[in-house]
């Protein structure tokens, strides 16, 4: 009996120390796992916002293209962007050749057109767009190709009209923004 009692007195608590280390390791693994999960949730939310912003901008871009396709409005330098039309011309005296889309205030509805079609779910603000009339080019022959957007192209049969449509959409917050642009030939 004496030997058993002496063996118990000689133990130094190694099991307790190993248990505490294992608990610390499990705690670290749990905390790391929860922070990784939180980061993945944020990434998924950001991707969703980006996708919503893209879809909103795509909707506004298609509206701008359909306006130009069906019945192009009258463009004039004097009326550039007035009345929330979002119509600009880069042709004429005082016109901005580099693009009005770079200088308009997208957040206010004064110089841009706002999408007013059907409701778009889960977006923070309605998408907006501008339509810019670009300098026309001349095409030749029965089926003109229109040349290029650069000045100095020649031709004598048909004038080809060019329009730059730029659309801006936001997602679930105004922090996620997508700008889309297309050049439309008519």
Say how many C-beta atoms besides its own lie within 10 A of residue 7's C-beta.
9
Read off the pLDDT of residues 75-91 as tens digits, 9 standing for 90 and up. Answer: 888 888 887 889 999 88
**Dist. CA 162–CA 125, nearest whole Å:** 29
pLDDT at 93: 76
pLDDT at 97: 78
pLDDT at 109: 76
Q: How far, rounded to the nearest angstrom, does the alpha carbon of residue 55 sit from its chain's CA centroid?
A: 8
Tokens 């796992």 sit on residue: 33
pLDDT at 146: 47
Q: Which residues of the chain have pLDDT under 70?
A: 1-12, 139-157
Q: Cβ neighbours of residue 186 under 8 Å, at least 6 residues apart?
A: 68, 69, 72, 160, 161, 162, 163
Length of the chain measured in residues: 186
Residue 130 CB-density burial (10 A; 0-12 exposed, 13-18 middle, 19+ buried):
buried
pLDDT at 155: 47
Q: Would the pTM of this model clear 0.75, i.e. be above it? A: no
């Amino acid at each position: 009996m004496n030997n058993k009692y002496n063996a118990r007195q000689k133990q130094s608590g190694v099991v307790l120390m190993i248990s505490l280390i294992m608990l610390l390791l499990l705690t670290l693994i749990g905390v790391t796992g929860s922070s990784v999960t939180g980061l993945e949730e944020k990434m998924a939310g950001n991707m969703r916002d980006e996708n919503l912003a893209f879809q909103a901008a795509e909707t506004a871009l298609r509206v701008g293209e359909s306006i130009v396709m069906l019945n192009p409005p009258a463009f004039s330098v004097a009326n550039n962007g007035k009345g929330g039309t979002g119509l600009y011309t880069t042709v004429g005296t005082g016109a901005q050749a580099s693009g009005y889309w770079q200088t308009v205030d997208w957040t206010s509805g004064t110089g841009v057109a706002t999408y007013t079609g059907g409701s778009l779910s889960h977006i923070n603000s309605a998408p907006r767009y501008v339509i810019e009339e670009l300098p026309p080019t001349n095409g030749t022959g029965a089926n003109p190709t229109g040349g290029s957007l650069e000045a100095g192209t020649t031709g004598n049969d048909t004038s080809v009209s060019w329009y730059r449509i730029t659309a801006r959409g936001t997602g679930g917050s105004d922090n996620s923004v997508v700008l889309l642009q297309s050049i439309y030939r008519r």
